[in-house]
C-alpha cells in the first residue's frame, strides 16, 4: 500500500484523511510516558482540589449510608413510592446508573474489536467508571425490595422452604444480567490493569507500596510467553463483553417492555435503551475525563482529538435517542391504540410535561451542538453540555417510569408521584459513593492503560525503519 506524501507536521486535530493523527503528544520514548502518567500516583500528595472533592464526596456518601440505614429500620414508606407509582426513584436511579455503566465496556470491548486505537487513552477510567456506576446501580434494587435482609432470595440458593426464583420474570433476568455484567467488567478492568500494576510495583519507593502492588500484580514480569496468552484472553474477553454490553440494557428494558403498561409495552425498547445507555455513558466519561485531565495534567494522552471523537459518539447516540423519542410517538399514533396514544400525549402535555421537556431539551437538542467543530474543541463547553446530557438521561428514566405508572388505563386508578427528601438525598448520596470510589481510583491505581498506550506509539513497531511508514 502506498502512502501519500505529507509535507507538514501532523496535527492532532487534522481532518486530512491521508494522515493518521498521533495518539500520544510530545513523547518519543516509553520511559517518559510511564513517568508522566504515574506522576500523580507517585506524587507525595495529591493536588488540593482532590482533597476538597474527596471530602465533599465522602460526606455525600455518608449521607447515603445514613439514609439507607433509616430506610432499613423504617421501611420503604420513607420514599414517595405509592400505588400506582410503585417504582419511584429507586428504579429510576437504577436504570440511570446502569446506563452510565455502559460506556466503559463499550470502549473496552467494542472499540477494541473495531481496532480503534484511540480507545487506549480513555478505556481504563471508563472501565473504572463502569464498575463504580454498576455498584451504585446494584444498591437501588437491593434496597427497593423492602426487606433488605432477604435480598438473597434473588439468587437461586437451595433453602428450607423449597422455594426458587421465578425464571420467567424479567426482574430475575436483571439479577443475572447485571451480576454478570459487573463480574465481567471487573475482570476486564483488572486483567487490563495487571501489567500497569506491575509497573507501579517496580517503581514503588516504599515497602507498603511494593507489597500491596506486588500482590495485586500477581507477579507479572512481562514475559512474551505470558503476553501471548494474555492478548488472546483479552481478545476473548472483548468478544464476550460485546454482546454482553448490548444484552444488559436490553434486559433492563425488558423490565418495562414485558409489562402491559401503555408507554412501556413496545418493541423499540431494547435498542432505544442501549443507545441511551451508550449516550449517557459517554457523556459521563467526558464529565469525568475533562476535569481529571486538567487536574492530573494528561493533555498529552487524552488529546483534544480523543475528546472530539467522544463528542461525535455522543452526537450519534444522542440523535439515535432523539429518533427513538420520535418513533415512539409515531407508533403510538399509528397503532390506533387509545391507551398508547394517551400515554404519549400525556407525557408531553400532561402533569409531568416539565420532566418530558427537560428530557427533550437535554438529550435531543443539547448534543446537536456537537455538529459545530468549535464546540467539539472547547473542553469546558463540552463539560457543560455533558452535564446537561446526564441530567436529561436521568429525566428520561423518570419520564418512562413515572408517567406510565401514574396514568395507566383507568382514570380511577391514576395517581401522582412525588419524591420525598429521602428519595432525593439517597440519589444525591449515590453520587457521593460514585465519586469517592472514582477519586480513590485516580489516586491509587493507574488512571490510563500505560502498556496499551505504549503499544500504539509509532516507536512500538519493531519493523518501523527510518522514514518508512508501516502505519
- Pick out residues in 111-140 that bind other proteins (CB under 8 A): none
Asked if 241 interacts with other proteins (CB under 8 A), we say: yes
Check: CB of residue 111 under 8 Å from CB of residue 441. Answer: no
Asked if 249 interacts with other proteins (CB under 8 A), we say: no
Asked if 329 interacts with other proteins (CB under 8 A), we say: no
Task: Count Cα neighbours of 252 within 13 Å in the Cβ-side half-sphere.
Answer: 34
Check: CB of residue 340 under 8 Å from CB of residue 262. Answer: yes
* 3-state secondary structure (DSSP) of residue 465: coil
Shortest CB 174 distance to other proteins, Å: 9
> Of 199, 401, 404, 426, which one interacts with other proteins (CB under 8 A)?
199
In whole angstroms, what is the distance from residue 123 CA to residue 108 CA? 6
Asked if 424 interacts with other proteins (CB under 8 A), we say: no
Nearer to other proteins, 188 or 388 (CB): 188
Question: Considering CB under 8 A, how many residues would be counted as binding other proteins?
Answer: 71
Nearer to other proteins, 373 or 470 (CB): 470
Q: The C-alpha cell of 33 is what?
A: 510516558
Binding residues among 203-232 for other proteins as defined by CB under 8 A: 203, 214-215, 218-232
Binding residues among 29-88 for other proteins as defined by CB under 8 A: 29-31, 33-34
Nearer to other proteins, 114 or 330 (CB): 114
Check: CB of residue 143 under 8 Å from CB of residue 90. Answer: yes
Asked if 148 interacts with other proteins (CB under 8 A), we say: no
Of 3-11, 64-72, 244-252, 427-435, which segment contacts other proteins by CB under 8 A? Answer: 244-252
Task: Count Cα neighbours of 105 within 13 Å in the Cβ-side half-sphere.
Answer: 35
Shortest CB 111 distance to other proteins, Å: 18
SS3 per-residue string spanning 345-396: HHHHHCCCHHHHHHHHHHHHHHHHHHHCHHHHCCHHHHHHHHHHHHHHHHHH
> Of 62, 82, 209, 247, which one interacts with other proteins (CB under 8 A)?
247
DSSP 8-state secondary structure symbol assigned to residue 149: G
> Of 78, 145, 154, 187, which one interacts with other proteins (CB under 8 A)?
187
> Of 25, 49, 163, 338, which one interacts with other proteins (CB under 8 A)?
163
Nearer to other proteins, 80 or 270 (CB): 270
Check: CB of residue 213 under 8 Å from CB of residue 201. Answer: yes
In whole angstroms, what is the distance from residue 94 CA to residue 285 CA? 18
In whole angstroms, what is the distance from residue 180 CA to residue 12 CA? 38
Nearer to other proteins, 6 or 35 (CB): 35
Asked if 147 interacts with other proteins (CB under 8 A), we say: no
Phi/psi at 371 (5° precision): -65, -25
Asked if 9 interacts with other proteins (CB under 8 A), we say: no
Amino acid at each position: 500500500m502506498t502512502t501519500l506524501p505529507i509535507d507538514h507536521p501532523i496535527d492532532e486535530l487534522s481532518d486530512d484523511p491521508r494522515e493518521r493523527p498521533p495518539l500520544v503528544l510530545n513523547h518519543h520514548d516509553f520511559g517518559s510516558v510511564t513517568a508522566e502518567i504515574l506522576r500523580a500516583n507517585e506524587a507525595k500528595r495529591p493536588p488540593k482540589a482532590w482533597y476538597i472533592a474527596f471530602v465533599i464526596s465522602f460526606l455525600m456518601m455518608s449521607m447515603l449510608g445514613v439514609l439507607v440505614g433509616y430506610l432499613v429500620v423504617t421501611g420503604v414508606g420513607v420514599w414517595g413510592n405509592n400505588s400506582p407509582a410503585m417504582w419511584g426513584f429507586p428504579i429510576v436511579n437504577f436504570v440511570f446508573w446502569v446506563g452510565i455503566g455502559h460506556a466503559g465496556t463499550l470502549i473496552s470491548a467494542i472499540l477494541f474489536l473495531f481496532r480503534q486505537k484511540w480507545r487506549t487513552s480513555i478505556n481504563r477510567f471508563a472501565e473504572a467508571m463502569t464498575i463504580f456506576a454498576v455498584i451504585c446501580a446494584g444498591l437501588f434494587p437491593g434496597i427497593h425490595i423492602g426487606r433488605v435482609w432477604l435480598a438473597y432470595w434473588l439468587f437461586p440458593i437451595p433453602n428450607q422452604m423449597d422455594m426458587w426464583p421465578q425464571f420467567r420474570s424479567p426482574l430475575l433476568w436483571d439479577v443475572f444480567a447485571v451480576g454478570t455484567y459487573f463480574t465481567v467488567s471487573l475482570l476486564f478492568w483488572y486483567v487490563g490493569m495487571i501489567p500497569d500494576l506491575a509497573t507501579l510495583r517496580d517503581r514503588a519507593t516504599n515497602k507498603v507500596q511494593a507489597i500491596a502492588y506486588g500482590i495485586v500484580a500477581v507477579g507479572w514480569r512481562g514475559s512474551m510467553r505470558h503476553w501471548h496468552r494474555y492478548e488472546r484472553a483479552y481478545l476473548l474477553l472483548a468478544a464476550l463483553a460485546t454482546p454482553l454490553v448490548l444484552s444488559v440494557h436490553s434486559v433492563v428494558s425488558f423490565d418495562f417492555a414485558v409489562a402491559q403498561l401503555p408507554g412501556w409495552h413496545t418493541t423499540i425498547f431494547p435498542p432505544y435503551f442501549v443507545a441511551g445507555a451508550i449516550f449517557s455513558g459517554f457523556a459521563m466519561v467526558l464529565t469525568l475525563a475533562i476535569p481529571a485531565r486538567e487536574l492530573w495534567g494528561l493533555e498529552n494522552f487524552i488529546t483534544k482529538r480523543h475528546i472530539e471523537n467522544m463528542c461525535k459518539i455522543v452526537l450519534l447516540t444522542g440523535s439515535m435517542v432523539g429518533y427513538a423519542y420520535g418513533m415512539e410517538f409515531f407508533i403510538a399514533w399509528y397503532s390506533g391504540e387509545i391507551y398508547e396514544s394517551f400515554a404519549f400525549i400525556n407525557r408531553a402535555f400532561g402533569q409531568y410535561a416539565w420532566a418530558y421537556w427537560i428530557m427533550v431539551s437535554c438529550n435531543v437538542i443539547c448534543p446537536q451542538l456537537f455538529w459545530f467543530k468549535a464546540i467539539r474543541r472547547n473542553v469546558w463547553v463540552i463539560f457543560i453540555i455533558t452535564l446537561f446530557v446526564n441530567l436529561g438521561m436521568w429525566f428520561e428514566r423518570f419520564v418512562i417510569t413515572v408517567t406510565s405508572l401514574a396514568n395507566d388505563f383507568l382514570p380511577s386508578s391514576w395517581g401522582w408521584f412525588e419524591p420525598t427528601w429521602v428519595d432525593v438525598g439517597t440519589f444525591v448520596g449515590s453520587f457521593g459513593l460514585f465519586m469517592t470510589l472514582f477519586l480513590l481510583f485516580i489516586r491509587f491505581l493507574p488512571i490510563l492503560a500505560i502498556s496499551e498506550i505504549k503499544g500504539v506509539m509509532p516507536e512500538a513497531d519493531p519493523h518501523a525503519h527510518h522514514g518508512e511508514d508501516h502505519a
